[in-house]
Amino acid sequence: FHTHGLHVSPQGISDNVLRVMQPESDNSVVIELPMDVAPGTYWYHAHLHGLTEPQVFSGLAGALVVDGLTERLPADLQDVPEHLVALKDLQLDSSGAIETENIDSNAPTTRTVNGLVNPVLDAQPGGTQLLRLANLSADIWYRLKMDGTSFTILAEDANPVSTVTQADELVLPPGKRFDVLVRWDDPGRYRLRTLKYGTGSAGDSYPERVLATVVVAGDAVAPVAMPTSMGPAPDLADAPIAQHREVVFSEDPKTNAFLINGQVFNMDDVMYTMKLDTVEEWTIRNTSDEEHPFHIHVNDFQVMSVNGKAQPGDGLQDIVALPPKGEVVIRMRLTDFVGKYVFHCHILNHEDNGMMAVVEVTEDGKPSAPTPAGSSTSTSMPHHS
């Protein structure tokens, strides 16, 4: 069980994805949130290696919202209507039932918003609304465009941004979230669409689809100026770097294995041991011919550069797309929590086929003693036919 994006403990019965909950058993989960948890849109999902894709695809996922984002807005925007836009897809088998076994991310798929096909949203001319865009899909990407307006980005991956920007389109890999403001000045019917998108020559290709319809009607309201900042955000540009690491995401098409540093996932193998209260810089190279969304648990990161191009440093995030044959540099501060957790590709089919690794944070940066056999954190993985 994983609360995606939350800065919480990875140990014991908290957000511990190395803990296996056996069939027909009772398992308490207690997530203790810090008082300074960032406002924004998070989500949660099953995280059993080998079955993560079918379990999330079948419905073991949901959105989490931490209030407080609108309190950072100018006074005349603090009461704007809010709407969750949870994006998820489903495929049907030959009998018309939802497919749970033969999932093909490149096959025709039904795109839903909050479980509905093309729902209708109402708005007033000139009125501003807050949309919480969240891709809760197991594998597929979205390239969002809202007719008649642009997206004013307040938060990315539940991290409020220091500089508010506007975008006509937003690309959401699996797991990605944006909190945005939108406004339609004129009455009419407008569409939220996912545009045609491809993830590379070895990846998937998605057609354009209408996701939702917005009906703008009724009494017009006076437009309000959009904000320019959501407050200061962490900036690691000048932080001393305790450790530089090279990480390689790769594929073996012959065996359908997806690898990190040439290895498939092994829950008993810690790839990196990291020291609490330090900053690390990772250079992540993607040697494959398709995009991979990089995600790490517990501590969010700042993207420093993509293919050598410096990034603006407007805040932290927990998902970044690795371009085909490309390179991304990130920095992250390891705060508050020790323990073992994972980083992985958030295309869950790739994760299930090996593209995940364990890291551990310790007080001194040295490996901890092995966990005793039979404890809740060392339960052996079940075998699946």
Distance CA 156, CA 314 (A): 10
Q: What is the pLDDT of residue 108?
A: 86
Local confidence band at 380 (pLDDT 50, 70, 90 cut-offs): very low
Whole-angstrom CA distances from 330 to 19, 353, 355 are 28, 24, 18
- Which residues does 277 contact at the CB level (< 8 Å), separation at least 6? 333, 334, 335
Give the pLDDT confidence of 118-153 residue by residue, as tens digits: 999 999 999 999 999 999 999 999 999 999 999 999
- Which residues does 235 contact at the CB level (< 8 Å), separation at least 6? 162, 302, 313
Q: Is the pLDDT of residue 379 over 50?
A: no
| DSSP helix/strand/coil, 338 | coil
Local confidence band at 377 (pLDDT 50, 70, 90 cut-offs): very low
Q: What is the pLDDT of residue 385?
A: 31
Q: What is the pLDDT of residue 172?
A: 98
User: Do the beta carbons of residue 175 and residue 116 sit within 8 Å?
Assistant: no
Q: What is the pLDDT of residue 121?
A: 97
Mean predicted lDDT score pLDDT of the chain:
94
Q: Is the pLDDT of residue 51 over 80?
A: yes
Q: Which of 64-73, 99-108, 140-149, 338-347 has the lowest mean pLDDT?
A: 99-108
Closest Cα partner for 352 from 28, 7, 3, 45? 45
Q: Is the pLDDT of residue 38 over 90?
A: yes
Q: What is the pLDDT of residue 102?
A: 85
Give the pLDDT confidence of 274-316 residue by residue, as tens digits: 999 999 999 999 999 999 999 999 999 999 999 999 999 999 9
Q: What is the pLDDT of residue 100?
A: 84
Distance CA 277, CA 371 (A): 23
User: Do the beta carbons of residue 135 and residue 172 sit within 8 Å?
Assistant: yes
CB-based contacts of 251-255 (< 8 A; 24+ apart in sequence): 251/202, 251/287, 251/288, 251/290, 253/202
Q: What is the mean pLDDT of residues 3-9?
A: 98
Q: What is the pLDDT of residue 98?
A: 85
Matching residue, tokens 């092995």: 370
Distance CA 170, CA 188 (A): 23
Q: What is the mean pLDDT of residues 355-376?
A: 82
Local confidence band at 203 (pLDDT 50, 70, 90 cut-offs): very high
The percentage of residues in the chain with a pLDDT greater than 70, rounded to a whole number, is: 96
AA letter at 187: P
Q: Is the pLDDT of residue 376 over 70?
A: no
Q: Is the pLDDT of residue 177 over 90?
A: yes
The percentage of residues in the chain with a pLDDT greater than 90, rounded to a whole number, is: 91
